[in-house]
Chains A and B, each alone.
Chain A
Amino acid sequence: MSRPISPRSAPPEPGPPEQAPLRRTLPRVPDRFAVAGVVLLALITLAALLAPWLAPYPEDHLDPVNALRPPSAEHWLGTDEVGRDVLSRILYGAQTSLLIAAAVLGASSVVGVTLGVVAGYAGGWLRDVIMRITDVFLAFPALLLSVALAVVLHPSVATVIVAIAVTWWPWYTRLAASTAASVATRPYVDAARCLGVPAPLIVLRHVLPNSLTPVLVQLSLDAGGVILTAAALSYLGLGAQDPTAEWGLMVQLGQSRFTTNWWLAAFPGLAILLTAFACNVLGEGLRNALDPRRTVR
């Protein structure tokens, strides 16, 4: 799946309006909608971290006698075909999903921002070369690239992380390049250059820190998309394999029993929906708060 498109469409190559650092522009009265997203995401993160204590049963606790039981007092969300507790597996699945999201966003933003800041500061042919490379990766359908990689690397959680990260970084390169290009024309950068500060140090000390805000906002907007893409890959059987608790995989395993044992696929799907929703709401709230033109709330 290609990266979901945010309503403001793809970042343009030339510089966006300058954005002030986070703490100076956060509004005093926070958006209630965004706050709801923060709370929801915090709850999900807590559930993931505390899964070993919260889960009523161990992740892979087999109980064939109680297989395929509907939701009840002992098993709030029912059990699967080998008697594993669905609620416990969903709680452990939160670990997998959040881990994938963090790893993908971390890796692709490090690669993307590094290339982007270099391209934006250097300009000229170097910028052109880097930009054309990002164009190629952007045009390449991410789902198909992931499929190819998953076939080469054999399906696992790590494969999903690599596959999505490979198709995700160009967005941060574009974004960072456009901001870095406008930062590079600032007087303080000129001043540093006149003082004879070497270019790598200028990039590291001045251009990089001042180009990060838009990337941070974009990262929060993208978390939901990464979780959805990872779930889709696992659903296709290209990601986590059975004993691992993963929501997309749980939907896939439960889909043939949807008519008779609906809870197998319904609840993991709901978990994906809620997590992606929380990330998207939080991301939108952050973007609204940081964009001075968006006074709408």
Chain B
Amino acid sequence: MTRYLTRRLGQALLVVAGVVALTFVIMRLVPGDPAVAYAGPRASEEQLAEARRRFGLDEPVYVQLWTYLRDLLSGDWGTSLHTRRPVLDDLYLAFPASLELVGAALAVAVVAGVPAGVLAARYKTKFPDFSVRVTSMLAVSVPVFWLALALQTVLASGLGWFPVAGEYDSRLDVTSPLTLWTNITVVDALITGNWPILTSTLHHLVLPALVVAAYPAGVIAQLTRATLIEEASQDHARLERALGFGETAILTRFALRPALGPVLSLIALVFAYSLVNAFLVEAVFNWPGLGRYAAESIRSLDTPAIAGVTLLVAVVYVLANLVVDLLQAVVDPRVRAR
């Protein structure tokens, strides 16, 4: 196990290093001089030279890469050109908001997807199965930005059931200000007992979370259905049938548990995908997460900020995969031998 762990960790580090190098190359390809962007269009020659020195743009490329790597490791992810704050501080504010959105969406996806999969497997080839298959396929095929727009227009602007945009009612910042601990608003409101902000955030969270949940809910339903049907044809299911258990009992009591293993690893894999999907949804609902930060950074060609977001998402992806592999290695000793 230790050997597998070290090898897998080494691989993950190598991938992160590769991503850093790739990010560095792409950032150098992006047109627009960061020094000009920082110093402003009317800067004098001296101010430009000063900005260049400041960002190390007058050094040779390999020195710049080395400096970049050293700075990243020491926690200096550069200064954002548009917020003029350290990128890491910005990410520390934006990432929790995205995490909140994706976390809520994955919770919805599990709550909706697993029972739907069970239902479909129980009534295989019957009408419930057919409707779950069609719905889950529609859920994975829908363009998220379009679903977000449609729900926002109909349920928020039209019927007024939900707020149109934002994370919570900003007036609450005055009446009941929130103390920040984790920067995840729901969690902070919960620990500090700030009920007005908690209810407001949950209310704002419904629509964006539903939209982000569509894709994972669809794949979870499909996977649950497929694994349950496979489990129900195994020998243990035949024994249970002989012992007089009904089909529903076999599925929910015996087959569901082994089927949840693959679903769990799917959730970890779908996490990084949903994070990037959330970018599009955040733009529509003006959610103060990574997506909105990335969009602002792209608009102002803010290379350090774009690089920061890219690295963060890549690290999250690598970590999610690492967790899946390690969990599988714990559960299944055959994986370690590979």
A residues neighboring B (CB under 8 Å): 1-10, 13-14, 33, 132-133, 135-145, 147-149, 151-152, 224, 228, 231-232, 235-236, 248, 251, 255, 258-259, 262, 265-266, 269, 272-273, 276-277, 279-281, 284, 293-297
Contact = CB atoms under 8 A, between A and B. Distances in A.
Tell me the dominant secondary structure on chain B's binding face: helix
B187 interface: no
Nearest to A149: B26
Interface residues of B, number: 63
Tell me the dominant secondary structure on chain A's binding face: helix
A142 B125 CA distance: 37
B143 A136 contact: no
Contacts of A259: 153, 157-158
23 contacts: A1-B276, A2-B272, A4-B219, A5-B273, A6-B219, A14-B338, A132-B15, A135-B18, A136-B22, A140-B314, A145-B26, A148-B30, A152-B29, A228-B143, A231-B143, A232-B280, A248-B143, A251-B145, A259-B153, A266-B150, A277-B138, A277-B141, A296-B226
A177 to B, nearest CB: 14
A10 B146 contact: no
B294 interface: yes
B146 A9 contact: no
B146 A251 contact: yes
Contacts of B146: 251, 265, 269, 272-273
A207 to B, nearest CB: 22
B37 interface: no
Contacts of B143: 228, 231-232, 235, 248, 251, 269, 272-273, 276
Nearest to B262: A9
Nearest to B335: A12
Contact of B277 (A1, A135, A281): A1
B31 A151 contact: yes
Contacts of A138: 317
Nearest to A284: B137
Interface in B260-308: 262, 265-266, 269-270, 272-273, 276-277, 279-280, 294, 298, 301, 306
Contacts of B265: 9
B153 A273 contact: no
Contacts of B77: none
Interface in B136-150: 137-138, 140-147, 149-150
A251 B16 CA distance: 36
B323 to A, nearest CB: 13
